[in-house]
């Protein structure tokens, strides 16, 4: 299976065949909600796909922001990924421990930073382990590469853009949180946040897009799910969620079915639900 900018997914079979390819860099982007009480870095240290580097979305972020894992400045992003041996001519494969959960966030981050040759491992570490493929606790030591981030602003929305969209309704907003959190009947995993959703947004829980083995659902199933959620695939879409992670699962799915310019609201509900005075529906 060729890896191209129009193919944002690769299979475990493809990665197994390309583990030793000199141009392939593998990233473990595992991250979990605070309620999961899991330590992704410790799990990486215990076992990971050979050659994988750990990408900490809470550190490769704007750590001065009060909101979780907001996009970092391009200079910081470039510095961190250069040290991972990622640069010109590199093909990046991102995976996570849950199957398809946090890896799409890092896939989106690279695209925001102007790097397009990046794909997500379909099924992630969950499927890789189920198939009995090799694992290691050895940490690779790549040589630094040249990487220059060039921010692709159309893939990102901030609070001001989301407020403007309330007036113009130019973009459809799709929320990846659970139905209970969207409706405001289920508590948020982060304390102090209001309950509900951005007015006018639709709900498509990201878990509905993922099979039990951690792989994304088929093209036709994805199209049906977005259609059932009331999304017109011919019109612009912005995705949102709790903190900008599962929103990227929706963005990845949309890229697979033909909309690779989907924007993500970076602050998501961690920002909207924390800022006093913003309109909220429930």
In degrees rounded to 5, what are phi and psi of residue 44?
-65, -45
Beta bridge partners of 24: 91
Task: Provide the Cα torsion 72, 77, 79, 81; round to 10°.
Answer: 150
> Distance between alpha carbon 128 and the CA centroid of its chain, in Å?
19
How many C-beta neighbours within 10 Å does residue 85 have?
Answer: 17
> 232 vs 2, 142, 216, 227, 240, CA distance in Å?
30, 44, 20, 7, 16
CA pair distance 3, 92, nearest whole angstrom: 9
Mode of pairing for the β-strands spanning 118-121 and 172-175? unpaired
In degrees rounded to 5, what are phi and psi of residue 72?
-80, 170
Beta bridge partners of 10: 121
Beta bridge partners of 174: 202, 239
The answer to whether the beta carbons of residues 125 and 96 sit under 8 Å apart is yes
Selecting among 169, 202, 241, 248, the annotated active-site residue is 241
CA pair distance 188, 208, nearest whole angstrom: 19
- Catalytic annotation on 241? yes
Of 100, 105, 102, which is closest to residue 123 (Cα–Cα)?
A: 100
Residues known to be catalytic: 241
């Amino acid at each position: 299976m060729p890896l191209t900018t129009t193919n944002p997914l690769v299979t475990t079979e493809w990665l197994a065949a390309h583990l030793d390819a000199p141009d392939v860099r593998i990233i473990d982007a595992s991250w979990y909600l605070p309620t999961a009480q899991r330590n992704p870095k410790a799990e990486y240290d215990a076992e990971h796909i050979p050659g994988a580097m750990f990408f900490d979305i809470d550190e490769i972020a704007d750590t001065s922001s009060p909101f979780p894992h907001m996009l970092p400045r391009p200079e910081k992003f470039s510095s961190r990924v250069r040290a991972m041996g990622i640069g010109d001519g590199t093909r990046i494969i991102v995976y996570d421990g849950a199957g398809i959960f946090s890896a799409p966030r890092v896939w989106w981050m690279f695209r925001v930073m102007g790097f397009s040759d990046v794909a997500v491992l379909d099924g992630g570490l969950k499927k890789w382990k189920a198939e009995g493929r090799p694992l290691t606790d050895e940490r690779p030591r790549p040589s630094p590469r040249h990487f220059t981030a060039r921010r692709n602003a159309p893939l990102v929305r901030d609070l001001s853009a989301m407020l403007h969209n309330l007036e113009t309704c130019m973009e459809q907003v799709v929320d990846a949180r659970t139905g209970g959190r969207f409706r405001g009947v289920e508590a948020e995993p982060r304390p102090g946040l209001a309950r509900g959703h951005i007015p006018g947004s639709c709900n498509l829980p990201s878990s509905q897009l993922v099979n039990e083995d951690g792989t994304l659902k088929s093209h036709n199933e994805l199209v049906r799910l977005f259609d059932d959620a009331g999304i017109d695939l011919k019109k612009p879409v912005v995705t949102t969620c709790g903190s900008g992670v599962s929103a990227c699962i929706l963005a990845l799915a949309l890229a697979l079915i033909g909309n690779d310019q989907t924007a993500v609201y970076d602050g998501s509900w961690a920002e909207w639900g924390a800022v006093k005075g913003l309109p909220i529906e429930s």
